[in-house]
Amino acid sequence: MPEPMDPVPLTSSRPEQIFPALTEAQMQRLISHGTPRSVRAGEVLVEPGDGEIPIFVVMSGELEIVRPSFAQETLLRVIGPGRFTGEINTLSGRRAFARVRARQASGVIQIARESLLALVQTDAELSEIMMRAFILRRVELLAQGLGDVTLVGSSHSADTLRIKEFLTRNGHPYSYIDLERDPDVASVLDRFHVSAADTPVLICRGQTALRNPTNREIAKCLGFNEAVDESRIRDLVIVGAGPAGLAAAVYGASEGLDVLLLETFSPGGQAGSSSRIENYLGFPTGISGNELAGRAYTQAQKFGAQMLLTTGTRLTCDRRPYIVELEDGARIPARTVVIATGARYRKLPLENLARFEGAGVYYGATFIEAQLCRGEEVIVVGGGNSAGQAAVFLAQSAKHVYVLVRASGLAGTMSKYLIRRIEETSNITMLPHTELADLDGSDHLERVTWRNTQTGKTENKSIAHVFVMTGAEPNTAWLGGCVRLDGNGFIKTGPDLSAEDLNDAHWPLSRRPYLLETTLPGILAAGDVRGGNVKRVASAVGEGSIAISFVHQVLKE
């Protein structure tokens, strides 16, 4: 192995916050949480792929943090006395990305994950320093693509986009080799005995090459679920990690509950696909949904909540503890459940829609999609707020944005501030009484036809990007009749439940259901999935948070 050279330069202007030096008093407080240890020069303390890793605080000597990649090592950092190792994965218990090795004979304090969690929950000063360092380190790894996976793919491939999105939305750093542009592509493919026809290929920890893996296979290869004990009876199982589920996780875990989140895709839910949320309290310049979700997820982890990346497929509700069944057949026992499964996008009734999903047809307008259609014409379908936001956001980088609405205008469906922005943006055109009639292309969308529903006149356009923002349906099918739904399939809760609903459901208690409680005691619903909910991030967060006060009451009963 060659000697590492200079460390990779940081992209951040805040190196002192990424690798802060602790004061003598702070070090003394840390010592009580860990075990002193002497290490020899060259001794390896952490290997990439190790799970449940401790952190190390350097008392004397030096540690080096390196990333092995194929036959080489990249030196990320050398840290001396007063500085500490660790990263977001240390909190979650997921596997390490980097190797930590003593550069010389050194003295360290080893702090186990459980002790680290106790420390960041109780020592406000150290918590701020360490959490900020862990978050900024992850931001740095993401910015530099320094993870444990390499994706080889094409920017014209829907599956490449899907994999990028899955890794990005899960905050997992990766490097990308583009089939069409990267000169190294042939040697990387040869090394793993795969061809361009096999792409997208995901090279997992430099060892396994997965050909066009499903999201589930990626999660397995990267060990996303390994640190979670599935057999323990949890105080609270939350199904869905959108804003409502994340809020329930933060409040539940911070109030001492044993919390497990179940999520199909990534933390953030629908909000995670929003390019900029401008009406969420406390963010006057707006925040991207993914950033908000990333922060909330880290906060939940800090308080000890855990997450399984999986789908809840069935609720066993005829006995307690309740059981949430997972797609792989595993059964998670829960004293209480918060259902926060949100809603899913309505699709357009176009025959070949699925062929172009991710290859020209998108359901979210984030930075990734905006890059794909930079300088080109795009279509946004829909007249609600999400359509308005997407149009305004895309107009910053696209050549022209056409907003297709079936109604005569936007006034009844979109916030005034967005309508004003659309009117003031010269490269947005709103087309009333218009619907998409046809999509056309080969591997990627190339042309569309739209139709005026009043005149029947159709128009053909060479447009390769369509953003569908036409509303959503509740994710309640998996509940299999366990809880009462309203006429549109949303979950009925609290005061919305009539005496008849409760009778039919055999409500067993003398009290009525709490505000967010369903027809089953201790099963609550929060966010978009709940009937009567205002479909906003703030209301989802509010409901997820207050659900916890009812969880406490149920647990006392």
Q: Is 173 in the site for ligand FAD (CB under 6 A)?
A: no
20-36 burial by CB neighbour count: b if 16+ within 10 A, else e?
Answer: bebeeebbeebeebbee
- In total, the chain counts a number of residues equal to 557
Query: Does the protein bind ligand FAD through residue 176 (CB under 6 A)?
Result: no
Binders of ligand FAD among 361-390, rule CB under 6 A?
364, 386, 389
Told to check if 357 binds ligand FAD by CB under 6 A, we report: no
The answer to whether residue 270 forms part of the interface with ligand FAD (CB under 6 A) is: yes
Q: Rule CB under 6 A: is residue 20 a binding residue for ligand FAD?
A: no
| CA dist., res. 164 & res. 78, Å (int) | 30
Which residues from 112-171 bind ligand FAD, rule CB under 6 A? none
How far, in Å, CA of 202 to CA of 219, rounded? 12
**Alpha-carbon span 109 to 288, nearest angstrom:** 38
Considering the complex, what minimum distance in angstroms separates the CB of residue 222 from ligand FAD?
A: 18
By CB under 6 A, what part of segment 273-292 binds ligand FAD?
A: 273-274, 277, 279
Please report whether residue 478 would count as binding ligand FAD according to CB under 6 A. Answer: yes
Binding of ligand FAD at residue 106 (CB under 6 A)? no
Closer residue to ligand FAD in complex, CB, 483/537: 537
Q: Is the peptide bond before 349 cis (omega within 30 degrees of 0)?
A: no
Q: Are strands 523-525 and 331-339 parallel, antiparallel or unpaired?
A: parallel
Cα angle for residues 100, 105, 106 (degrees, 5° grid): 65
241 counts as binding ligand FAD under rule CB under 6 A: yes
Q: Token pair for residue 186?
A: 């042939």
Q: Which stretch binds ligand FAD (CB under 6 A): 12-20, 136-144, 339-347, 416-424?
A: 339-347
* Minimum distance from residue 274 beta carbon to ligand FAD (Å): 3
Shortest CB 367 distance to ligand FAD, Å: 13
Contact with ligand FAD (CB under 6 A) among 26, 264, 452, 553: 264
Does 245 sit near ligand FAD (CB under 6 A)?
yes
Compute how many residues bind ligand FAD; rule: CB under 6 A.
Answer: 37
Q: How far is the CB of 295 from ligand FAD (least distance, A)?
A: 15
Which listed range, 158-166, 241-249, 298-306, 416-424, lies at the site for ligand FAD (CB under 6 A)?
Answer: 241-249
Q: Write the CB contacts of 398 (distance below 8 Å, at least 6 apart in sequence).
A: 370, 373, 374, 375, 376, 377, 378, 427, 465
Q: Are 483 and 519 in contact (CB under 8 A)?
A: yes
The answer to whether 263 contacts ligand FAD (rule: CB under 6 A) is: yes
Cα dist from 476 to 125, 156, 232, 522, whole Å? 43, 34, 25, 17
**Cα gap 141→173, rounded to integer Å:** 6
Give least dist CB 315 to ligand FAD, A. 10
Chain centroid to Cα 436, Å, comes to 31
538 in contact with ligand FAD (CB under 6 A): yes
Q: How far apart are CA 545 and CA 230, in angstroms?
A: 24
Query: Of 366, 241, 341, nearest to 293 (Cα)?
Result: 241
- State how far Cα 311 lies from the chain centre: 14
Nearer to ligand FAD, 415 or 429 (CB): 415
User: Smaller CB distance to ligand FAD: residue 342 or 522?
Assistant: 342
Which residues share a beta bridge with 525?
339
Helix axis angle, 113-122 to 124-144, nearest 10°: 120
Residues 387-416 touching ligand FAD, rule: CB under 6 A, are 389
Of 54-62, 94-102, 213-221, 258-266: span binding ligand FAD (CB under 6 A): 258-266
Question: At which residue do the structure tokens 């948070």 appear?
Answer: 545
Nearer to ligand FAD, 18 or 368 (CB): 368
User: Stretches 22-30, 180-188, 208-216, 337-345: which one binds ligand FAD (CB under 6 A)?
Assistant: 337-345
State which residue, 267 or 304, has the beta carbon closest to ligand FAD. Answer: 267
Q: Which stretch binds ligand FAD (CB under 6 A): 123-131, 175-183, 402-410, 536-544?
A: 536-544
Closest CA relative to residue 479, chosen from 521, 536, 523, 429? 523
Query: Which residue of 27, 259, 292, 343 would you call a contact of ligand FAD, by CB under 6 A?
Result: 343
Contacts of 510 (CB under 8 A, 6+ apart): none
Per the omega criterion (within 30 degrees of 0), is the bond before 200 cis? yes
The answer to whether residue 542 forms part of the interface with ligand FAD (CB under 6 A) is: no
Smallest gap from residue 267 Cβ to ligand FAD (A) = 7
Residues 501-530 that bind ligand FAD (CB under 6 A): 527-529
CB count, 10 Å around CB of 7?
14
As a whole number of angstroms, the distance between CA 109 and CA 56 comes to: 6
Per CB under 6 A, 340 contacts ligand FAD: yes
List residues near ligand FAD by CB under 6 A. Answer: 239-245, 262-265, 269-271, 273-274, 277, 279, 311-312, 340-343, 364, 386, 389, 475, 478, 527-529, 535-538, 540
